[in-house]
Structure 1
């Protein structure tokens, strides 16, 4: 049996990769939310000088990648790999945003779990000696996501109370074999969960079972208790999915309420900004992690964080065929120090 594999789904990293730098770009709505001071850059409008929302999202990827390398004081030729993906068909935001970097590229699709997926795989690559420095990143855009998955914005469709607002933005981290932390010490890979939710306007309910399953697996595999972490944060369940996840865990004897939060709840002021159930999208967890959470860790306000990004593994085709919405969640344990 692999010596670094503990339990069914978790890997312990004996030479933990260090987060060398992070970068986060967000849209104007996100820039008016509670976490506005933690982002590197707030764009002034959704098109950001481009002639389509999709091109604007690729620009977000391109500029966030450049920013994280600048903060890490690294050049493109010092990056061994970039692991990235997004919500658009064939991950075009990442593909077009990174095509001029000349950095070896691994395209990923984990829906809104992509940030944790990229950091999970990237951590294994660095810890295994296959890379010295690599970038993990993702993006989303409200307008391009609505256009692809729901209704044209011009239609002006009424939003349901369970709906969430796709975050416009991008988040990136540099993982390195050298550095002073924070460190990635555990990776818990999620399983596909599908309880038959078909409502594309209720992503929280679709993803909550996967989040609960991965969180439960992490504590079962590691033997740790929830109070080991200062913060257990899911990706973008919003207030509806957060409540469902919390209740599902309680039913299985695991109470995380005292240290549990969700990036989709944190990024917007739901009442003042009219985002209904909260935020969603790949950039939701990526920007909150690369901005607010990373800052809280480096400032010593958080010492241990379990970051659990969640995704709905759907497509326009699956929705048109009345398929249900499978969920996935991946977790990484981030420690401020090696102790």
Structure 2
């Protein structure tokens, strides 16, 4: 049976099940709006590690092991691990996976990596190529700042449109059998580049990609926005979220009543995150914590998670390139 739907989407014949999730965050995230939805809150951004990078690897390994343990299983039962982070050559992920001893596929979709991993994991399971897959992502404010912007020690002033990279890691266990929410459909995004060159303005850069994928999902599946209890993007922040609503209104659809952005859900206004949260862990910790628990409680039954990624690098920025962006969507239903 051909499971491709329309131009860019997939309808899964045997929808894979999200059997468990886990997350770990830094102290700033632990003091935010979703304080009660994290498995572990670290005391500081080093967590007894020698560097921020080592801390990020620790978080990612911890999240994977915790998610597997939550379903009363062992890491040996995981057929494949799909994981990624924001750092060059997926440094945090590669070091985290050293001790797990499982077949591994590294993914780089920037902040869209969780949705990309869930999409590909669902393909592996629905295709009969695996029985259980772990998907994981991480980001760390201080490692990301050091790579993409300035060393945190410099105390460089951030513009109002900038976002705060989430310190955290999240993992999802997908299985062919079990109980929990199911991934019923997905839409693969394409590169959208509107010519924005400011790496601080990631929300405005990524918003058109989110709209492009959402619109294509609607066209491919026939599911109108009202089909979902919640449509949630990854990390567009306040500015990007506003743009998504406006751009969808231009297409004749009002999504303002059931649309939210993970980047607007993590920090309190007085935490000075400026435009909101960003990073792989933005959608990661929101989905594996708050959203997953809301689904288990049947307070949300149908979610469309649209992971958004800004695919620039320090090199491309220095060469005055614009910012190519991507968005992938996964429909989760219970």
TM-score above 0.5:
yes
> What do the CA deviations read for 1:125-144 (whole angstroms, capped 9, x no partner)?
00100010110010000000
User: Pairwise mapping of residues 14-163 of structure 1 onto structure 2 (< 5 A)?
Assistant: 14-163=13-162
CA distance in 2, matches of 1:314, 1:15: 36
Contact in 2 for aligned 1:216/1:254 (Cα 8 Å): no
- What is the Cα deviation at residue 254 of structure 1? 2.0
> What do the CA deviations read for 1:172-211 (whole angstroms, capped 9, x no partner)?
1000000122000001000100000111111101110100
Name 1:255's counterpart in structure 2.
Answer: 254
> What do the CA deviations read for 1:260-301 (whole angstroms, capped 9, x no partner)?
0000000111x2101110000000001100000000000110
CA distance in 2, matches of 1:84, 1:17: 18
CA distance in 2, matches of 1:272, 1:314: 29
Name 1:165's counterpart in structure 2.
Answer: 164
Name 1:321's counterpart in structure 2.
Answer: 319
Q: TM-score, length-normalised on structure 1?
A: 0.98
Give the 3-state SS of the residue equivalent to 2:53 in structure 1. helix
Give the 3-state SS of the residue equivalent to 2:110 in structure 1. coil
> What do the CA deviations read for 1:97-148 (whole angstroms, capped 9, x no partner)?
1111110000000000000000000000001000101100100000000000
Q: TM-score, length-normalised on structure 2?
A: 0.99
Give the gaps of 5 or more residues in structure 1.
Answer: none
Name 1:331's counterpart in structure 2.
Answer: 329
CA distance in 2, matches of 1:70, 1:39: 16
Give the gaps of 5 or more residues in structure 2.
Answer: none
Q: What CA RMSD, in Å, does the superposition of the two structures yield over aligned residues?
A: 0.7
Give the 3-state SS of the residue equivalent to 2:186 in structure 1. strand
